[in-house]
Amino acid sequence: PDWDTHKNELCRVHRFTLDITAMGAIAPRNLTFGVCAGSCQYPIAYPTKDTHNSRFRSLLIAYDQIPAAQRPPPPCCSPVQNARMQGQTVTMRRNGKLVFTYLSDLLPKCGCF
């Protein structure tokens, strides 16, 4: 996906589907998981989760009396918690053997840090 298309949206979960057959997966053919992407600009808007650190950094960036070289980097959108999601068993063939891998927690909750 083109992640630049999400840079002007608020920080949130974006669903991403990946064709995993190229990695040797037999079933399922696709794996869907969540990726955090989006903006954490001041003021950080509800329902985006944030921290005291991200609020303080946002205020310092917004305060134009601080020289740009001394301003901290902006808060970034990242997982704050993994949400429970129905697990998925991925079947792969490795060295002529079937390997079963159980995956869960593929849908994070996102916030600004």
CA 96 to chain centre: 34
Residue-number span of the structural domain to which 59 is assigned:
3-112
Q: From CA 79, how far away is CA 38, in angstroms rounded?
A: 12
Please check whether residue 105 is in contact with residue 83, taking contact to mean a CB–CB distance below 8 angstroms: yes
pLDDT confidence of residue 106: 65
Q: Is the pLDDT of residue 2 over 70?
A: no
Which has more pLDDT, 105 or 77? 77
CA atoms within 13 A on the CB side of 113: 10
Q: What is the CATH number of the domain that holds 57?
A: 2.10.90.10
For 54-92, what is each residue's pLDDT tens digit? 777 878 878 778 888 888 888 888 888 766 556 677 788
pLDDT confidence of residue 48: 66
For 25-40, what is each residue's pLDDT tens digit? 888 888 888 888 888 8
pLDDT confidence of residue 104: 64
pLDDT confidence of residue 86: 60
**What is the count of structural domains for the chain?**
1
Q: How many Å is the Cα radius of gyration of the chain?
A: 19
